[in-house]
Structure 1
Amino acid sequence: MTSPGETAVGERYPTVDEVAAAARALALRRPDVCRLRTVGLSRAGEPLLLLSVGHGSRNVLVVAGPHANEMVGGATVLLLARRVTADPVLRDGADAAWHFLLCADPDGARLNEAVPDARFTMLGHYRHFFRPRAAEQPEWLPDDGTLDGALPETRALIGVIDELRPVLQCSLHGIDVGGTFIQVTREIPRLAERIAKSAAEFDIPLEAGSSDAFHWPSPGPGVYVLPPPGGPREDASNSTWTYAHRYGGVTAIAEVPMWACDRAADTSPHPSADGALRTAGEALRRASLLVGGLIGEVGPHLPGDGGPLLRAAREIVAVGPALAADWDPALRTAAAPPLPAMTRARVSSVEIYAQRLPLRAAAMLLRVARTVDHGPTPLVAVRELLEGLVADWCEAYGTAHRARWIPVRQQAEQHARVVLAAFDLLPG
């Protein structure tokens, strides 16, 4: 007999409720090794559930759902929890206890949940899309690095880190289009080899040029090491990733794509990088300006600030184009750090970024516009424009990068293997 959520792990992304039900079933079935408890409440009063497996002295913390739009983490924690429960070598044999935060942002995840088959097309994904603005994401501390004013989800996660002092914290992330990769706060030897072997088995490209990590050390394809906190090329000091350092732990941020883009792994030189980067920057600014204008037409018809979807869309169109100054020749200054050699993989990552951001903003704005039931005729026209825009941009996005769907089970399996490899190879 399968437990709740078992089928969902294979066929689609499990919902918040399905992940919780599966964890409860596992804890009831194996009370000798599993414990499920509430470690906090979300802003909306949702329980933040921690499933612990094993009784060893070396704690491993796995965090699912830190970004609401990255739903593969729920499937991954169920897969990992069942595997660790079934295999005493991963527990007793390694003197380890595994702790799975089932969803770091259940409020956001619920806003991103879709009908069961909607995730298998780009348009289906984006018609249900939600990703909160940075200040509403639980892995980020306030700018001063303290817990004063932090989200309740952030305080709960920090509390778990303080309690467990994990030797390894794994944050489960995902991207829509690209390759698989991992970011670590300290180097883990031979990790690149293990990730590459698993990725090849599933025909998932290794992300060899992530624009998030242009200036970070990379000991091998698909592995990036965060620069030391406070450095000029590091922006994660006020995060729960580096918070674990105070206890000597390492954090690994594991990424898997929904759709693969094979160019993400192409390390050959790009034949016309400067022109491609300029084109991407211009397209990003043009699309952001268009969406920003539509936000100006929809916003006045909504109460207050329009809610989390509109707040997130506003942040994207305000901040996204400015971030292009890191790579766009039209915006880069003489003081900017030099770009690395621009391979096809690195240019592809920038091009994906330039299409992804305005599409996210337009998709969330469309969801907001659909909630205005009795708007004036011009608002109806804006809604229809957004419907066409999101559909056209989704088609263009998938076509430009030859995106191919990766089954959910393979996404979760790659995620799980990255986590297990990081633990197995952990120094000391």
Structure 2
Amino acid sequence: MASLVTLIPDMRYPTPRELALAARALAEAEPGLVRLRQAGTSRGGAPLWLLSVRPARASRHVLVVAGAHANEPVGGATALDLARRVIRDPAPRAGCGWHFLLCADPDGAALHRTPLPYSLLDYHRNFFRPPGPEQPEWAPSLLPPDRLPPETRALTAVIDELRPVLQVSLHGTDLGGSWVQLTRDIPGLAEPFGKSAAELRIPVETSASDAAGWPSPGPGIFVMPEPVTDTAAALHPEDTRLSTWYHAHRYAGTTAIVEVPMWASDLVDDPAPHPDPRGALRMLAARLTEDAARVAAVRGGVPGAFRDDGAAAAPLLRAVDWTLALIPLVAAEWTGPGAPAEATTAHIGSIDAFGRRLSLRAAAMLLRVLRAGHHPAAPALDRLVTGWCEEFAARFQARWVPVATQVEHQSRTVLAAYERLAAVTPGP
């Protein structure tokens, strides 16, 4: 199976418009089973489409959320693939409705323009990731209820309507391995998850920086603790429990966040003990602080009036500023008293990658503004972004994971999560 999937000519990541057109075709082909409706409208006026595959008698529901992070475009392709699988196979939809929010942030997706990147540099050329308060899933952990963006309100309204037994959020990482974060444990998920990753030659991230200090019932599976641990606080300054991931808990639901890499690195699953974790973290913190200072120095000379391809550069600059403000908190945590005295090589590698992508993302988004405005600092920043991308890829021996393979692994993991959860969760 692995060889067949990985030999498929590579697809590209679909745009929100292409997702909607494909979903409409599915609904027209199966009008008695499939329905496409608008669940809300984005800040920019784009529709938020919800595709439902629902049998006549559905006592439980699964909600799959794609595109919550604009720079992680694999989710939409996986959502369509899952919908097609559920339409073809009656087993997963036996008494269960499947619902797919095709793109939770279409405005952000319009700003991140990388349908099929051929390198990390190409991926970052048109990179965009909104600041935390503008991300649909994270906004409730950073903003009061009366200031939530319409994308968040639409998502929580869908959760309130469906009361899903399982909510799945489809995410991706630029470089690394695959892992799953759970708001509650799903017993037995590690086995099919690990089997799929092995068959598809996707490394399992055994010490993901996003899940630092979290309980792990199996390789690559992490269960969010309550309350959030101090260790995780630096990497998630938001309160995870206030995110939309936990909104499903109001109805006894569980949320799974399935991460898959665009570029794989076999260095992220090294279980060997690191010889000097605290020394390594001090070095990484110093490098991150220095890199951020270089970007901040350029940012200080950029007014907010630049325009990017005819659209206001304000979203890009807000994202740059938010990322730069986050970096000192991260660096302080890495050098603080809570820094681990013992850690695996994989864990230090994951933190290394996390730090590299923070400064690189800020620089890449700022570069877009500079190039659009023909700013004299653009060439030097371009060289910096190019060098950082090349160093990142070389350090982690990056190898491209075909989009079809990313989709296959996410789809398998989602179906396995529901199967395992349904086996231990009585129906209503």
1:131 aligns with 2:129: yes
Shift of 1:324: 2.6
Please tell me the root mean square deviation across aligned C-alpha atoms, in Å.
1.9
C-alpha offsets along residues 285-317 of structure 1, whole Å, 9 cap, x if unaligned? 0000000010011235538x9511111111111
Structure-1 residue corresponding to 2:236: none
What SS does the corresponding residue of 2:174 show, helix, strand or coil?
A: strand
Instruction: Give 1:26-425 correspondences, 5 Å limit.
Output: 26-55=26-55, 56-92=58-94, 95-114=95-114, 116-117=115-116, 119-143=117-141, 147-229=145-227, 235-299=239-303, 302=306, 306-327=313-334, 331-333=335-337, 336=338, 339=340, 341-373=342-374, 379-380=375-376, 382-425=377-420
Q: Which amino acid aligns with 1:315?
A: W
- Work out whether residues 277 and 348 of structure 2, in 8 Å CA contact, stay in contact via their aligned partners in 1: yes
> How far apart, in 2, do the equivalents of 1:267 and 1:183 lie?
19
Rounded to whole Å, the distance in 2 between the matches of 1:102 and 1:278 is 41
Per-residue deviation, residues 69-113 of structure 1 (Å, max 9, x unmatched): 000001100110000011111112xx1100000000000001112
Question: Separation in 1 of the partners of 2:385 and 2:257?
Answer: 29
Tell me the CA shift for residue 141 of structure 1: 3.7
Please give the alpha-carbon distance, in whole angstroms, between the structure 1 residues aligned to 2:278 and 2:369.
37
Residue type of the alignment partner of 1:366? L
Tell me if the contact between 2:277 and 2:341 (Cα under 8 Å) persists in the aligned partners.
no
CA drift of 1:52 comes to 0.2
Normalising to structure 1: TM-score of the pair? 0.91
Range 222-231 or range 344-353, more displaced: 222-231
Instruction: Write the distance in 2 (CA, Å) between the matches of 1:238 and 1:288.
Output: 29
Please tell me whether the aligned partners of residues 278 and 341 of structure 2 are also in contact (alpha carbons under 8 angstroms): no
5+ unaligned residues in a row in structure 2: which ranges?
Answer: 1-7, 234-238
Change (3 A) 1:181 1:340: farther
Closer, same or farther: CA 352–32 of 1 in aligned 2, 3 Å = same
- Deviation of 1:176 (Å): 0.4
Alpha-carbon distance change, 26 to 422 in structure 1, aligned in 2, over 3 angstroms = same
CA distance in structure 1 between the aligned counterparts of 2:348 and 2:277, rounded to whole angstroms:
7
SS in 2 for 1:60: strand
Distance in 2, Cα, partners of 1:9 & 1:142: 40
Cα 1:161–1:315 shift into 2, 3 Å = same
- Which region of structure 1 is more displaced relative to structure 2, 46-55 or 227-236? 227-236
Return the alpha-carbon distance in structure 2 between the equivalents of residues 131 and 57 of structure 1. Answer: 37
CA offset at residue 341 of structure 1? Answer: 3.1
Tell me how far apart the structure 2 counterparts of residues 157 and 60 of structure 1 sit (CA, whole Å).
13
The amino acid of 1:150's aligned partner reads L
Aligned length: 405
- SS, match of residue 342 in structure 1: coil
Q: Render the CA deviation track for 1:378-415: whole Å, top value 9, x for unaligned.
A: x32x1111111111111011001111110000001111
**Matched residue type, 1:171:** S
Would the aligned equivalents of 1:65 and 1:71 in 2 still touch at CA under 8 Å? yes
State the distance in 2 between where 1:18 and 1:9 align. Answer: 19
Q: Secondary structure at the match of 1:253?
A: strand
Q: Distance in 2 between matches of 1:253 and 1:413?
A: 16
Q: Distance in 2 between matches of 1:357 and 1:48?
A: 29
Q: Is the contact between residue 141 and residue 147 of structure 1 (CA under 8 Å) also seen in structure 2? A: no
d(CA) in 2 for partners of 1:15 and 1:213? 29
Using a 3 Å threshold, how does the CA distance of structure 1 residues 395 and 24 change in structure 2: closer, same or farther? Answer: same
- TM-score, normalised to structure 2, is 0.91
Residues 306-341 of structure 1, C-alpha deviations (whole Å, 9 max, x = no match) = 5111111111111123213333xxx303xx3x6273
> 1:131 touches 1:312 (CA, 8 Å); kept in 2?
yes
**Aligned partner of 1:258: which letter?**
M
Counterparts of 1:316 and 1:9, CA distance in 2: 36
| Residues 207-261 of structure 1 deviation map (CA, whole Å, 9 limit, x = unaligned) | 0111121211001110000012566557302100011101000000110010111
Q: Which amino acid aligns with 1:343?
A: T
**8 Å Cα contact 1:9-1:75 kept in structure 2:** no
Contact 1:43-1:152 at 8 Å conserved across structures: yes
